[in-house]
């Protein structure tokens, strides 16, 4: 009986850590000059549906400059950005703790 609860607990924590992201820029919420924080990691989706995880290095009036996981410099036109998300670690931890509490206190 203890083994299935452990598997459920581990899977729920992993899913919440992966899925919790805050949308910073959407088609309804435009990007301003101070929207992105420098040297933070963001997932940027362009209008051609490509997603890239970047650490933002510089933002100017026309482009976003960042480094990808391989260390390569990437430039993305601001006009081509469809969606930008940033990971929300605090929310992930809270959801993970709620999942742990549910497994412990609610009998299955």
pLDDT attached to residue 103: 73
Provide the token pair at 100.
């742990």
List the pLDDT tens digit at each of the 108 positions of the chain.
455 777 776 777 667 666 677 788 888 888 888 889 999 999 999 999 899 999 999 999 899 999 999 999 999 999 999 999 988 777 767 777 777 777 777 766
């Amino acid at each position: 009986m203890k083994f299935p609860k452990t598997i459920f607990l581990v899977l729920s924590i992993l899913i919440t850590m992966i899925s919790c992201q805050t949308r910073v820029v959407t088609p309804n919420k435009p990007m301003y000059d101070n929207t992105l924080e420098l040297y933070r990691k963001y997932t940027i989706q362009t209008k051609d549906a490509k997603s890239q995880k970047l650490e933002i290095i510089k933002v100017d009036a026309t482009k976003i400059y960042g480094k990808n996981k391989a260390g390569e410099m990437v430039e993305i036109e601001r006009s081509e950005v469809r969606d930008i998300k940033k990971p929300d670690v605090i929310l992930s931890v809270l959801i993970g703790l709620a999942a742990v509490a549910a497994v412990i206190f609610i009998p299955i």
